Amino acid sequence: MGTTGAAPVDPTPDTAPGAAPVGPAALADPVRPVRAGWVALLAAANLGVWMAFFAPVQILLPRQVELIDAAHKEALLGWVTGLGALVAIVANPLAGALSDRTVARRGRLRILTGRRHVWTLGGAVLAAFSLVLLGGQQGILGVAIGWVCVQVCLNAMLASLTAAVPDRVPVAQRGAVSGWIGMPQAVAGVAGASLVIGLVQDDNAGGYLVLAGALVLLALPFTTLTEDHPLPVEHRPPSARLLRGVWRTFRDHPDFTWAFITRFLVQLGTALATLYLLYFLEDQVHRPHPEQDIVVLLLLNMLSVGLSAVLVGRLSDRTGRRKIFVIGAGMLLGTAALLLAALPTWPVVVTAAVVLGIGYGAYMAVDAALITQVLPRATDRAKDLGVINIANAAPQVLGPALAAPIVVSPGGYPLLFSVTGAVTLLSGLLVTRIRQVP
């Protein structure tokens, strides 16, 4: 992951020994490895973000919506979460673009002098406030507005955290670092649920309060103990690019476009495979206690994702290759889905959960590193990564619209998982269209 020994948390300067920096450090290509402490603090901040995303969707929002209208809870929950995902599609790249354009300010606190940390900590504080307000809502409109506010703030925070890797991590270390940073996403579902259930049990408002506190506490160390390079005002990207940049980015940078498409297909496949997992276990596999089974599958998936992400990320760095690992990960994801389509039995479901975890962990670690190598401009790193995050959010909206008619069709779950397998296999094949990364 990095060098060892007693060392400061911050990465060392982004220039070679004795070499004069070219342009501001905020826009330089990093060349020195980041330290283990820096990676740990970034991973902790990411854990806070993902717990604040997952625990409400898994536990708190379903409870809250059911108390408001139990008869229409499925439709209302889908409407609330879908609206949040739609807002995320806009909020993430917009916050990233604004972060790219945040310039140095003199005479202020250290945390306010850079261009990333102010968005990370500001997003955390405002998201925490929004979570507390959300916990007090007793009408569906208030819940929807509250969740939209949470999504806006969390996506502002996520945009700046995602940019930390290309900002501070050299290319040769990005696979390993992306693997470690990807682990919190795998852990967050179990950690957030355990935190909420363990501390407050059935107190929904208390659950939101616990998540709000954890979010700020986990963000503080990274934003106060690590360096954040300032951007001189003369190097700020032109505002015109903020409005017209997305289409031009896709048009002028085909490798970036193919990276977006492959990420979108993998996330769409994941959304299709997981949306009706509870009903699949209950109606197709005929498990008597599907809720308990899901906990088992989440734990198995979490362990396999974490192990795969770290090991494959390191291997990718050592070999200097990215595409072959992303292709292999897509094949594993497709295989897991096709297993479920062909043999809907409990042993096969357990096997598929492990295979899916290995494939997804490898994919997220190496693909995250690959994407940082096809970003069009150093000046627009956070904005361009925000565009990539559309490929994460959009399938959460599109997935339910595609999965619902497939499940109720004559093909049912076998057809659903066959489509999932085809989509993820296609994503692996399309990675070959990327040219500038080996």
Q: Where are the domains of the chain?
A: 34-233, 241-438
* 3-class state of residue 376 by DSSP: coil
The pLDDT assigned to 14 comes to 40
pLDDT tens digit sequence for 397-425? 788 778 878 888 899 999 999 999 999 99
For residue 391, give both structure tokens. 């490929």
From first to last of the 438 residues of the chain, give the pLDDT tens digit.
443 333 344 444 443 333 444 568 888 889 999 999 999 999 999 999 999 998 888 788 988 988 999 888 877 887 888 899 889 989 999 999 899 988 866 545 555 668 899 999 999 999 999 999 999 999 999 999 999 999 999 999 999 999 999 999 999 999 999 999 988 888 887 888 788 878 887 788 999 999 999 999 999 999 999 988 888 888 887 765 555 566 777 888 999 999 999 999 999 998 888 877 877 898 899 999 887 787 788 889 889 998 999 999 999 999 999 999 999 999 999 999 999 999 999 999 999 999 999 999 999 899 999 999 999 988 889 989 988 988 988 887 788 778 878 888 899 999 999 999 999 999 999 999 999 999
Max intra-chain CA distance, the chain: 69
* 3-class state of residue 245 by DSSP: helix
Confirm whether 34-233 and 241-438 share one CATH topology. Answer: yes
Q: Per CATH, which fold does 34-233 belong to?
A: Growth Hormone; Chain: A; (1.20.1250)
Tell me how far apart the alpha carbons of residues 164 and 173 are, in angstroms, rounded to a whole number. 13
Tell me how far apart the alpha carbons of residues 123 and 24 are, in angstroms, rounded to a whole number. 25
Q: Which DSSP category does 16 fall into?
A: -
pTM for the model stands at 0.82
Q: Per CATH, which fold does 241-438 belong to?
A: Growth Hormone; Chain: A; (1.20.1250)
Instruction: Give yes or no for a contact between 59 and 196, defined as CB atoms under 8 angstroms apart.
Output: yes
